[in-house]
Structure 1
């Protein structure tokens, strides 16, 4: 079982801290839990968090030892993290653990020197600060997450869920990740290069929404779909469609369509024995060459290699949490 260590660095962001357990704790492969998640802190016990709360963390930094993945969640310790945390992170990286951060956890990784020479991101209000304080880090400001191999970083809040789903997708395929996303009632795939901030604030769109048009398109991925088709369904002009689409999703309509088609192809490769040509047709990518191009660009695998790596029985889903996480929430004294 893949071991995930989550570090709560005070003052911790409770939402960020809950994401790894929610995502990894729901992932089943062949009916069995795929991950064991444990939360640790420099000093076990009550850990300071935002919003006048404290979280009770049973484990210490020993959770890092032997972990396959180590995740630092959002924290207010942007200026000076606990030296014990930095030492534990360096130790994990040296041992070959996959290292990741959610939100301002990137500052902790940067303080440990683990982002030097790497592309990285963080919550957009703090991107300039990260770049200024750590010039050896290639800060990418307006993306949801960055996968730079052994080190991954995400933007704030919900982008942490996108990062964790990306890790599940990388480990076990699109079908397992989609099953987890359904349980969490979130989009199964928001790719890392999607913008953090919408082109327009949600209020600018008023009651107008393209959710129905996106659902309509998802049911027709095997058919040719042009901008005029999407605009006709939405009863709007192509120009307005494109502007609203970017405001709601951070993507152009055609970028969004391509992402959905690649994900459909991944699920078909995992869950069926259809020939590659038929997978390309049913996902709307047209030809085997087109499928090969887009899949290789997205996951660095050919269709055959992807199927060999991820194919198997239909994934199960689970709602239980992984025992031994050592995380509970309580009101702070006097709150």
Structure 2
């Protein structure tokens, strides 16, 4: 049974105008997403800014209310969880945010930041809490004596290690990682990614890793979902997505990855024509039709269906068969 199942998930935000602006259309941040997350795997969510990646992560944790659709945790609807079931979900579903400078309480020492999780969920007796905090710090590569310091005394990479230790404190089934390395130096990014992989091998939990960085997604993910304007355009195993991308949007994203040597033709090929449509007024038919160089009339008239183009590899494109 998957740890997390998302079925036709929709989140529309109301967009109220000013006194004379009139009624505005809702912002379709997530618009019909279906995904599964299995134990021990890393699902990479990639796409441009504004594609709905972070909103999807927050919805998965129940931190914002969905408009419609289903979110299932170990087969149970998150919306219907109450009492002990809801408490268990809050314990088993964790998140590591993008900015380690803002996600830690600056007025609390590290012992209390991590220990608060242990206290709320009653994971260890009070007499064993200090030992568990020190053990968690050791797991993420920090020293035991770091527990008495405040967040401002640490570097960005160390703060993110503390945030990871806090997420691990409740022994979660899955963790949402929302751009966890984007605020860090490249060398530190690699250390954090390797740490996350080591922890996953040791503990067996699942990750939903959200990023716009394709190199990071390729390094850590076992499966990849490509989002555009609130929808999944292509999904499949990491090797299949990166070695044989099918959707024009996926191919354009991969072409945009910097190369050591480029020509003028390479630069022109990298650019995706046009602007991203407003999520409050997406184009009819295919969401990518206004920017797709392979667009044909049917793309603007009818929404494409999801097609299987390989083992566990699916794409939403009218012309998918031409590139398989």
Using structure 1 for the length normalisation, give the TM-score. 0.29
Identify the structure with the greater helix proportion. 1
Q: TM-score, normalised by structure 2?
A: 0.30
The structure whose residues are more often strand, as a share, is 2
